[in-house]
């Protein structure tokens, strides 16, 4: 990796590989879904060769299993650019921070001054508040008032409950006395004694209220003493939160991004959501690269980002694999920076399902089974209307069959539809009760080390990178997949999946995740590498027919 220095001292890296035969792209890379351009692949390869030789980096990105504690990797990026004299080269960047020399990478969009600055001063205030919070929360005085309050509450509860027991026993005794008086022949004496028993009952209720009031007064006093310390602690916590938010806003206001037209906007102007931009916004590789290019009159040609190092435990990242820019942090920034630039089409907006045949596998008066081709949506999307549901309307009119379940756009195979609300309810209940037997067949990248087994990894949506799913033990929903390897050939694994739950992208994540099979499905653009198609097919369905009540099964073999 060789840098060419100019009077602007820009980090323009010349290609070491011959690129004369490679045609330039007509449009710039659509950063959120893309297949990297050959120039980007070459640039990334040269950067990776450079990175492999960096002995000065203390961070090994989790690639050295002997490192303790084990770290995870980081996203890096390359931007192919053309300088003012027409020469092609590339810029390099990393996301976040790098523990080691960074002189080969473009700088941060905003770099804090090394000398005393607003951020350092602000952090001192926040750290000081943290010390005060710790002291206040652990003060002996606060601990004593809290203990006094808890002891009073416990004593009150115990004494009041003991008195209630006494009242219940007295009530039972009065009941016996009343019964005895009812059988007595002395009416005048009985009337007197009955009134006496009633007065005893009223007096006990009065004493109970007095006891409760007495304890309530004591508890209120203790609560007041405790609240003096608790309120001060809450005040400090709130002050620290406000100071932190104010400091973050000051920092984000320093981030100003450029676009090709020379326009400049603050980060807080670009991301106008409630509250502050996400933590780390503006420090990802793609915005850094474009910012540097625009600031130094370099024309962006193509972009690619790749993961370097071990995968995190939650999201799916594979060493040296290419990934799109994230949605939560980067999308609004890149939308501004790329304004007016011709971009490649978003592959997610291309109607891949047009002209693909939707084959009927079985149909009667109650149900319909179709073999959905890959590339066709189950239901209309935000940008694409063509789907199984829309075709049902075209074919059946006002009362089309209703989808009982769904398949991802890139998944092919059996899809079940119901011809009435009653049938739909019956079939959905079978899916919810997990009595429907399903088998999927897939082709995986790599050789699976296990012949069979069960994957149990909870999943939820990745809030920072929708629609991707992530493993999350704290908030994820349980997802269980049984699997059975049927063939390993030419470095790929053919496998049967038997999902026990039906979470979004369940089979795709369970296949690709390091805690799952660590072998992405061939052609999975989200969790693996793009191909002519995603090699996942819903091959088999078995369920109880809603009308005949007999078990029925259907099978359609995959085309791959």
The DSSP element (H or E) to which 502 belongs, if any, is none
Measured CA distances, 251 to 117, 120, 258, 269 (Å): 11, 11, 17, 13
> Does a cis peptide bond (omega within 30 degrees of 0) precede residue 467?
yes
User: Which are the contacts of 349, defined by CB distance < 8 A and separation ≥ 6?
Assistant: 383, 384
Task: Give the CA radius of gyration of the chain.
Answer: 34
328/545 Cα distance (integer angstroms)? 44
User: Which are the contacts of 65, defined by CB distance < 8 A and separation ≥ 6?
Assistant: none
307/311 Cα distance (integer angstroms)? 8
462/526 Cα distance (integer angstroms)? 12
433/407 Cα distance (integer angstroms)? 19
Measured CA distances, 308 to 49, 52, 63 (Å): 12, 10, 9
Q: Phi first, then psi: give them for residue 144, nearest 5 degrees.
A: -70, -45
Q: Is 99 a known active-site residue?
A: no
DSSP state of 377: B
As a residue count, the chain comes to: 560
User: Which are the contacts of 481, defined by CB distance < 8 A and separation ≥ 6?
Assistant: 454, 455, 497, 498, 499, 500, 501, 506, 507, 510
Coil, strand or helix at 80: strand
Q: Phi first, then psi: give them for residue 416, nearest 5 degrees.
A: -100, 135
Q: Which residue has the tokens 């206040």?
A: 136
Identify which of 472, 444, 437 has the alpha carbon closest to the alpha carbon of residue 544: 437
Q: Which residue has the tokens 């704290």?
A: 474
User: Which are the contacts of 51, defined by CB distance < 8 A and separation ≥ 6?
Assistant: 76, 308
Q: Do residues 250 and 118 make contact, with C-beta atoms less than 8 angstroms apart?
A: yes
Q: Are strands 367-372 and 299-308 parallel, antiparallel or unpaired?
A: unpaired
Q: Do residues 351 and 384 make contact, with C-beta atoms less than 8 angstroms apart?
A: yes
Pick the catalytic residue from 67, 253, 364, 408.
408
408/388 Cα distance (integer angstroms)? 11
Coil, strand or helix at 397: coil
37/544 Cα distance (integer angstroms)? 50
Which residues are part of the catalytic machinery?
A: 408
């Amino acid at each position: 990796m060789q840098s060419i220095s100019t009077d602007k001292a820009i980090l323009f890296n010349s290609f070491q590989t011959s690129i004369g035969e490679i045609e330039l792209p007509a449009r710039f890379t659509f950063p959120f879904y893309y297949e990297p351009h050959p120039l980007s692949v070459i640039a990334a390869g040269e950067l990776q060769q450079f990175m492999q030789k960096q002995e000065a980096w203390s961070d090994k990105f989790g690639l050295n299993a002997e490192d303790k504690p084990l770290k995870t990797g980081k996203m890096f990026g390359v931007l192919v650019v053309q300088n003012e004299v027409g020469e092609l080269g590339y810029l390099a960047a990393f996301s976040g921070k790098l523990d080691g020399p960074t002189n080969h990478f473009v700088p941060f969009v905003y770099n804090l001054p090394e000398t005393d600055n607003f951020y350092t001063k602000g952090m001192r205030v926040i750290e000081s508040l943290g010390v005060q919070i710790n002291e206040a929360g652990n003060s002996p005085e606060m601990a004593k008032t809290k203990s006094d309050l808890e002891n009073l509450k416990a004593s009150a509860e115990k004494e009041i409950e003991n008195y209630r027991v006494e009242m219940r026993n007295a009530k039972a005794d009065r009941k016996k006395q009343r019964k005895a008086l009812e059988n007595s022949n002395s009416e005048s004496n009985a009337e007197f004694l009955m009134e006496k028993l009633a007065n005893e009952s009223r007096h006990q209720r009065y004493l109970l209220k007095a006891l409760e009031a007495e304890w309530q007064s004591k508890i209120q006093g203790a609560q007041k003493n405790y609240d003096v310390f608790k309120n001060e602690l809450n005040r400090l916590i709130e002050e620290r939160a406000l100071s932190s938010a104010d400091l973050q806003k000051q920092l984000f206001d320093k981030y100003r991004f450029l676009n090709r037209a020379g326009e400049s906007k603050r980060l807080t102007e670009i991301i106008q959501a409630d509250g502050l931009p996400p933590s780390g916004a503006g420090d990802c590789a793609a915005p850094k690269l474009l910012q540097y290019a625009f600031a130094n009159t370099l024309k962006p040609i193509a972009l690619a980002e790749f993961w370097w190092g071990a995968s995190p435990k939650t999201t799916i990242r594979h060493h040296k694999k290419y990934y799109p820019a994230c949605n939560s942090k980067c999308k609004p920034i890149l939308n501004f920076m790329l304004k007016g630039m011709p971009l490649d089409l978003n592959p997610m907006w291309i109607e891949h399902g047009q002209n693909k045949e939707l084959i009927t596998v079985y149909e009667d008066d109650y149900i319909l089974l179709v073999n959905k081709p890959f590339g066709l949506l189950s239901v209309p999307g935000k940008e694409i209307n063509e789907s199984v549901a829309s075709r049902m309307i075209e074919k059946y009119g006002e009362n089309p069959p209703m989808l009982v379940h769904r398949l991802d756009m890139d998944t092919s195979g059996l899809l079940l539809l119901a011809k009435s609300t009653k049938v739909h309810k019956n079939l959905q209940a079978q899916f919810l009760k997990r009595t429907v037997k399903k088998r999927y067949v897939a082709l995986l990248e790599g050789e699976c080390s296990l012949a069979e087994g069960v994957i149990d990894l909870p999943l939820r949506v990745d809030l920072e990178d929708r629609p991707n799913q992530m493993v999350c033990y704290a908030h994820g929903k349980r997802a269980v997949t049984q699997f059975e390897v049927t063939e390993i050939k030419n470095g790929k694994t053919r496998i049967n999946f038997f999902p026990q739950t039906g979470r979004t992208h369940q089979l795709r994540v369970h296949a690709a995740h390091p805690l799952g099979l660590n072998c992405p499905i061939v052609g999975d653009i989200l969790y693996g590498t793009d191909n002519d198609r995603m090699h996942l097919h819903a091959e088999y369905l078995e369920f109880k027919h809603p009308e005949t009540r007999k078990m029925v099964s259907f099978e359609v073999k995959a085309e791959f």
